Chains A and B, each alone.
Chain A
């Protein structure tokens, strides 16, 4: 089973700060690296994703940085807001569009 190792398990950031979550993957055969966001009592929702032909993708305050040689990718949340408090999952793609998820990072943004 290909693994996706995510860190940290939990993260506390002050409002306006930068949140950084890291992910290391093993399966280099597939080319899709998404981040999902999950609020309590809800299912995860796709936040942002990157393909390895680019090193960075930005959508609003959310940025994915991708390092193919290190087999790592990270999520940066700029100007973090209390509404960003959620659990974040990275994932790596497999055959039949299966996703293997990291164990998640619980982000708390204090006001």
Chain B
């Protein structure tokens, strides 16, 4: 997707290990969001950022932390991965003039 990239695209990790997912944008948008997508649950907000070093929790934040040290990067960390965190993770950006999001292509994370 133009202006937003997620890495890695796929990852398999073991239970109990820390994992960091990266979202990088070139649009200079103020707002960035991390969602997880699971069958039957749709898209659920994990954490979001409304500026550099300004972050807040979403609906399903337990077990996750985030950091945003510069406008273009928003990192999602699973402190100690569990099988329940197996999911597809999407990053989204918004310039904040309306609610129109641009989503990344997603990271498929499998915790074994």
Binding site for B on A (CB under 8 A): 1, 6, 32, 34, 36, 41-46, 49, 89, 91, 93, 96-104
Contacts and interface: CB of A to CB of B under 8 A. Distances in A.
Which bucket holds chain B's interface residue count?
20 to 34
Contacts of B19: none
A43 B100 contact: no
B59 A96 contact: no
B106 A43 contact: yes
A42 B107 CA distance: 10
Contacts of A44: 43, 90, 101, 103
Interface of B: 1, 31, 33, 35, 40-45, 48, 50, 56, 58-59, 90, 92, 94, 96, 98-106
A61 to B, nearest CB: 20
Given A1-B59, A34-B99, A96-B56, A43 B90 contact: yes
A45 to B, nearest CB: 7
A73 to B, nearest CB: 14
